[in-house]
Amino acid sequence: MKSQAPGKLVLVGEYAVLEGAPALVVAVDRYACVETRTGGDASATLTVEAAEVGVHAARLTRPDLTGPAAEALRLVLPRLKRLPFNVEHVTLDTRAFFEGKDKLGLGSSAALTVALERILDPQATPDVIFERALQAHREFQKGAGSGIDLAASVHGGVLRYRLRGNELPERTAMTWPADLAMIAVWSGASADTRSFVGAVAQFAGREPSSYAALMGTLKRLTELACAAFQAGDVAGFLELIGQYGAGLANLGKTAGIDIETPEHAKIGAIARSGGARYKPAGAGGGDLGVAFCRRDEVTQVHDALTSAGFPIVPVGVSNTGALATQAQGS
């Protein structure tokens, strides 16, 4: 059996989504892939190949899947334990989320979680897969995170995403405006999303009034950006993206962290010179950023960025979410 799930880019709404604001996320055509191979009988061990975390043909002992590689696989171990005992080999492939040794920040762990949930239950509805993946991810992250990356991996396409207290988050499919283009740009360094989210949470506890004011601005901007995107108002969306990027930079400076790194700031200036608007995609501090422009401006923006030495990362929209297929010998 094989399964795959796409990665994601957050278009707008980082941090604000944790406070109940809407956010836009797009599934991208970089996929986490899982493949299982069965034997004739129940196997006492499960062999796991997961090269991106340094696991090579590791044999884990059932039923608890113990062994030297268990710690490296701790995120996915609960789902590996649910595999039927006649599955003797599983490959976890997230190489598409790397450029060389650099992890791009496209949501590889979320995509892998979703791909595993899909292979465990190929006939489940997307809503069921999302609910299971969200529960698993929140247990691993001790309640942190919005789950927006999981939604993109499950459903594909573009989603407006919004938390709703104890209810499942709102996930509304959106149509990409015909005249809008996005360019993913590598900032030069990977970032630790959880440390940045944690630092902002500490700032909120330390200076609640300053946090509330900054977050109020971000929440208003992402509401307006989602509405402009839905209406196909490209000019309005570009202007709001520029404002949201500035708001993220201000949040980072006030909280004492580089959400907008010097590299992000330089990329943003270059993008603006070509008519685009730019912001970090995700928690910031590195990873990818996204430049948005009109389609007829793509070439000039692309050329300006590459001439300045900033690599463009080829990504497109994945309109299909997590899939499972029968493989020969599975």
Domains of the chain from N-terminus onward: 2-175+321-325 (3.30.230.10), 180-313 (3.30.70.890)
- Give the length of the chain: 330
Q: At residue 46, what is the residue type? A: L
- Long-range contacts formed by 233-236: CB under 8 A, 24+ apart: 233/177, 234/177, 234/179, 234/180, 234/294
> What's the mean per-residue pLDDT of the chain?
93
Query: Per-residue pLDDT tens for 129-151?
Result: 999 999 988 887 766 679 999 99
Q: Which of 164-173, 229-238, 253-262 has the highest mean pLDDT?
A: 229-238
Given pLDDT bands bounded at 50, 70 and 90, which one contains residue 189? Answer: confident
Contact assessment for residue 80 and residue 48, using Cβ atoms and an 8 Å cutoff = yes
3-state helix, strand, coil in the chain (%, to 5): 40, 30, 30
Q: β-strand 277-280 against 288-294: which pairing, if any? A: antiparallel
Q: Confirm if 263 and 189 have CB atoms less than 8 A apart.
A: yes
Residue 188: pLDDT band with limits 50, 70, 90: confident
Of residues 192 and 226, more confidence is placed in 226
The mean pLDDT of 178-198, rounded to a whole number, is: 89
Q: Of residues 141 and 288, which shows the higher confidence score? A: 288
The beta strand positions in the chain, using DSSP E, are: 2-12, 23-38, 45-50, 55-61, 87-93, 98-99, 102-103, 158-164, 167-174, 180-186, 277-280, 288-294, 312-313, 323-325
> Alpha helix locations (H) across 290-329?
298-307
DSSP 31-78: EEEEEEEE-SS--SEEEEEEGGGTEEEEEEETTTTBSTTTTTTTTTHH
Q: Kindly list the distances between the CA atom of residue 249 and the CA atoms of 14, 193, 261, 279, 283, in Å, as whole numbers in the listed order.
A: 12, 16, 8, 9, 11
pLDDT at residue number 142: 66
> Which residue, among 272, 266, 163, 259, has the nearest Cα to 219 in the 3D structure?
163
* Residue 282 pLDDT level (bands cut at 50, 70, 90): confident
φ and ψ at residue 84, rounded to 5 degrees? -55, 150
> What is the rounded distance in angstroms from the CA atom of residue 37 to the CA atom of residue 46?
10
As a whole number of Å, the end-to-end CA separation of the chain is 5
Among positive and negative, which fits the CA dihedral 249, 251, 253, 257?
negative
For the cut 80, the answer to whether the pLDDT of residue 330 exceeds it is: no
pLDDT-derived band of residue 110, with 50, 70 and 90 as boundaries?
A: very high
Q: Given this model, what pLDDT does residue 244 score?
A: 97
pLDDT at position 327, please?
62
Q: Which tops the pLDDT comparison, 185 or 330?
A: 185
Q: How is residue 37 written in tokens?
A: 């191979």
User: Left, alpha or beta for 37 (phi > 0: left; psi -120 to 50: alpha)?
Assistant: beta
- Res 328: pLDDT: 52
> pLDDT, tens digit, for every residue of 37-81?
998 788 899 999 999 999 999 999 999 999 999 999 998 999 999
In this prediction, residue 325 carries a pLDDT of: 86
